[in-house]
């Protein structure tokens, strides 16, 4: 029975055979809608007004540009999934070598711990807020532990089931969240002090550019995971369609959520600095709207974490953790529980911790994106057998298991991106330059790794023993 058709997806890193590629491009739309159903976008939209000092028109520019940039990259890299039929970090072995891929793989895996922790905390806060609104139950340490266990447990189940469960949940959550978002937008339309919103003076261009980077960072974190959700697409699926569906699915959520957060910031100026990034919804909206909206948002955050853990399971397997994919996600589940507890009980500023994490996340992922992206422009196919062969006999062993060109470009980009980065507890020596002040360290990372990898001598790459004729179409997918 095809791996995708069973109740629990059993396929791991091995490429999906052509006969099992029954996916459709339009299924990517609810996937990327679900990946953005998070009240954190409201908090980030508020941050653009409160910390970046932007007006509503500048926030609109940020909310349009950020998903186009970040999910444009996700869509482009996702094309590799339909070419190779394998998860993103498995395909990365062809670029960095069987041993070399362990380095970016480990960094990306660790970065996912933070992303999953942030979402687990947001989900737990949503549960706590609903309990407070409905029953007057106030938060305490024991309740925090219970809500975290509930959220992470549900995440583990959905991510363990695999791609079929994720698609089904994504589709239904898209409909529900869309309906209630329209309801919230209508309520805000009639209750907001629009003279205060429209009368806010404009902020600096630098802060607007930095805001694009902040919002885009969340999307950039999905770039290595893009192929995980396109590996079941036929090789002949439209490359343009993949990119368009990815941007469209993300943008239809990011745009209204960020704008709603900016509008809400007028009524609650302390929103972005709150320890709890969720309870403000209960203060701004009537209970009959706030409770179902939070429950649907909770489902969305659960799906975001499920998608992240789904990809993290593949990453863990590429690092040599020899367990089935469904159980590989358990490592990330435990880690998000521990870190989530620390963030909810110990940390003093959720928003500050969140923005610092997003900034470093973007730098960590950008170094990989530049190298992998340039390799995609050169490569027309992947050798499935070589991807799975981690011994010296692998065609992707290169020199000692490393592709030194890719490793050099990746390491250099990490250094360059960090030099331009500023967070709460670290300031790079170049953070005061134009690039650093505009929050473009992640762009510097992508350009550095991509340019350096492009000019270094090409890594010898084998041709598969058999190449389907449809691979010729895949070679030109980026231009479709």
Q: How many whole angstroms separate alpha carbon 178 and alpha carbon 175? A: 5
Q: How many whole angstroms separate alpha carbon 242 and alpha carbon 76? A: 8
Position 14 confidence tier, pLDDT thresholds 50, 70, 90: confident
Model confidence pLDDT, tens digit, residues 410-435:
999 999 999 998 887 778 899 899 88
State yes or no: pLDDT of 174 exceeds 80.
Answer: no
State yes or no: pLDDT of 475 exceeds 60.
Answer: no
Cβ atoms of 295 and 130 within 8 Å: the answer is yes
SS3 402: strand
Higher pLDDT, 287 or 458: 287
CA dihedral 152, 155, 160, 164 (to 10 degrees): 180
Model confidence pLDDT, tens digit, residues 296-332:
777 777 777 777 777 777 787 788 777 665 566 667 6
Cα-Cα-Cα-Cα dihedral sign, residues 209, 245, 112, 157: positive
Q: How many whole angstroms separate alpha carbon 323 and alpha carbon 391? A: 18
Cβ atoms of 208 and 52 within 8 Å: the answer is yes
Position 104 confidence tier, pLDDT thresholds 50, 70, 90: very high
What is the pLDDT averaged over residues 39-59? 88
Q: If we measure between CA atoms, which residue out of 301, 294, 262 comes closest to residue 278? A: 294
Cα separations in angstroms, 273 against 157, 229, 276 = 33, 35, 9
Cβ atoms of 203 and 262 within 8 Å: the answer is no
Report residue 375 as tokens: 């390799």
Report residue 459 as tokens: 């890594």
Q: According to the model, what pLDDT value does residue 403 have?
A: 95
Cβ atoms of 149 and 337 within 8 Å: the answer is yes
- 413: DSSP letter: H
Percent share of the chain, pLDDT over 90 = 35
State yes or no: pLDDT of 194 exceeds 80.
Answer: yes
Position 469 confidence tier, pLDDT thresholds 50, 70, 90: very low
Cα-Cα-Cα-Cα dihedral sign, residues 306, 311, 314, 318: negative
Q: According to the model, what pLDDT value does residue 463 have?
A: 46
Please return the burial class of 95, using the count of CB atoms within 10 Å of its CB with bins 0-12, 13-18 and 19+. buried
Q: How many C-alpha atoms does 331 have within 13 Å on its Cβ side?
A: 19
Q: According to the model, what pLDDT value does residue 329 have?
A: 64
Higher pLDDT, 280 or 183: 183
**pTM confidence score:** 0.83
Q: How many whole angstroms separate alpha carbon 71 and alpha carbon 209? A: 17
Q: According to the model, what pLDDT value does residue 246 have?
A: 96
Q: How many whole angstroms separate alpha carbon 132 and alpha carbon 279? A: 9
Q: According to the model, what pLDDT value does residue 162 have?
A: 65
E strand residue ranges, 124-184: none
Residue 136, Ramachandran bin (φ over 0: left; ψ between -120 and 50: alpha; else beta): left
Q: What are phi and psi of 204, to 5 degrees?
A: -80, 155
Model confidence pLDDT, tens digit, residues 361-377:
788 889 999 999 999 99
Cα separations in angstroms, 9 against 13, 153, 246, 251, 310 = 12, 18, 23, 29, 11
CA angle 111, 103, 114 (to 5 degrees): 5
Report residue 7 as tokens: 């109740």
Share the mean pLDDT of the chain.
82
Position 285 confidence tier, pLDDT thresholds 50, 70, 90: confident
């Amino acid at each position: 029975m095809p791996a995708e058709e069973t109740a629990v997806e059993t396929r791991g890193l091995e490429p999906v055979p052509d006969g099992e590629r029954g996916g459709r491009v339009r299924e990517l739309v609810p996937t990327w809608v679900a990946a953005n159903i998070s009240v954190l976008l409201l908090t980030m939209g508020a941050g653009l007004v409160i910390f970046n000092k932007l007006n509503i028109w500048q926030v609109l520019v940020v909310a349009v540009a950020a998903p186009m940039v970040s999910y444009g990259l996700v869509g482009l890299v996702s094309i590799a999934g339909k070419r190779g039929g394998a998860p993103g970090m498995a395909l990365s072995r062809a670029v960095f070598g069987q041993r070399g891929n362990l380095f970016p793989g480990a960094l990306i895996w660790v970065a996912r711990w933070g992303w999953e922790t942030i979402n687990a905390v947001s989900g737990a806060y949503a549960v706590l807020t609903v309990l407070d609104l409905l029953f007057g139950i106030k938060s305490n340490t024991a309740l925090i532990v219970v809500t975290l266990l509930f959220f992470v447990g549900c995440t583990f189940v959905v991510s363990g089931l695999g791609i079929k469960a994720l698609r089904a949940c994504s589709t239904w959550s898209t409909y529900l969240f869309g309906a209630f978002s329209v309801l919230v937008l209508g309520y805000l339309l009639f209750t907001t002090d629009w003279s205060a919103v429209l009368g806010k003076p404009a902020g600096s261009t630098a802060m607007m550019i930095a805001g694009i980077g902040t919002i885009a960072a969340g999307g950039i974190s999905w770039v290595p995971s893009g192929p995980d959700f396109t590996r079941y697409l036929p090789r002949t699926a439209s490359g343009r369609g993949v990119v368009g569906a990815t941007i469209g699915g993300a943008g239809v959520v990011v745009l209204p959520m960020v704008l709603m957060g900016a509008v809400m910031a007028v009524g609650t100026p302390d929103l972005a600095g709150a320890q709890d990034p969720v309870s403000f919804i209960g203060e701004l909206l009537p209970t009959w709207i706030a409770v179902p909206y939070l429950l649907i948002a909770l489902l969305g955050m659960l799906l975001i974490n499920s998608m992240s853990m789904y990809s993290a399971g593949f990453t863990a397997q590429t690092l040599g953790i020899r367990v089935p994919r469904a159980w590989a996600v358990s490592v990330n589940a435990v880690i998000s529980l521990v870190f989530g507890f620390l963030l909810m009980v110990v940390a003093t500023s959720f928003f500050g911790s969140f923005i610092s994490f997003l900034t470093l996340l973007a730098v960590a992922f950008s170094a990989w994106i530049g190298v992998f992206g340039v390799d995609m422009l050169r490569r027309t196919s992947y050798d499935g057998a070589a991807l799975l062969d981690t011994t010296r006999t692998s065609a992707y062993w290169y020199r000692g298991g490393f592709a030194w060109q890719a490793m050099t470009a990746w390491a250099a980009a990490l250094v360059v991106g960090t030099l331009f980065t500023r967070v709460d507890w670290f300031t790079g020596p170049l953070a005061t330059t134009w690039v650093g002040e505009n929050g473009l360290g992640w762009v510097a990372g992508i350009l550095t790794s991509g340019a350096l990898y492009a000019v270094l001598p090409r890594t010898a790459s084998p041709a598969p023993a058999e190449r389907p004729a449809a691979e010729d179409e895949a070679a030109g997918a980026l231009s479709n």
